[in-house]
Structure 1
Amino acid sequence: MKTWQLQEAKGKFSEVVKSAQSKGPQNITVHGEPVAVLISRRDYLKLINPKPSFVELMRSSPLVGCDLGITREQTATRNIKL
């Protein structure tokens, strides 16, 4: 993460924004102390709309309740070539 002093970030704002889009979050400091992080909209949307858990994904599937007609072989073992 690149670090920018506030004065430099203000003067090169378009460069800071472009860097956030292409290189990731940009750290902004005041008097050497980190005070802000600029992130791209894509990264921001990932933060506010996290992916659902696997269980939530399965429960929201349009196939919930459908009989898929899956059968399983009932033999104790299978023959395989090693």
Structure 2
Amino acid sequence: MEWQLQDAKNQFSKVVQKARHEGPQVVTVRGERTAIVLSAHDYDTLRAGRPTLVDDLLGGPAWDDELADAVDARSKTPSRGVAF
């Protein structure tokens, strides 16, 4: 079902209940689809099996020995002077 933003704001509990029992609810602004209200179950189903940002960062390419050595060999002092 589509809801104009003002109607969705005024009847938010109804929008949420319909999302829980009937499926996603579309919210429009000036006739343009702007947001979707999902039940927690639908959201969890949508996100299931997708990697998180942490998974993506940790799952990046492995560092070869040359790159690891270069990182370890870099200067440990700041590259810019610190003014006090």
Note whether the superposition's TM-score is higher than 0.5: yes
Higher helix share: 2
What's 1:8 paired with?
7
1:36 aligns with 2:32: no
RMSD: 1.3
- Pairwise CA distance, 1:33: 0.3
- Gapped regions of structure 1 (runs ≥ 5): 51-82
Helix, strand or coil for the counterpart of 2:7?
helix
- Pairwise CA distance, 1:15: 0.1
Which residues of 2 match residues 1-82 of structure 1 at below 5 A?
Answer: 2-50=1-49
Give the counterpart letter for 2:17 in structure 1. K
Give the counterpart letter for 2:11 in structure 1. K
Q: Deviations over 1:1-26 (max 9, x none)?
A: x0000000000000000000000000
Give the counterpart letter for 2:8 in structure 1. A
- Pairwise CA distance, 1:35: 0.4
Alpha-carbon separation, structure 2, partners of 1:5 and 1:47: 24
Alpha-carbon separation, structure 2, partners of 1:47 and 1:35: 19
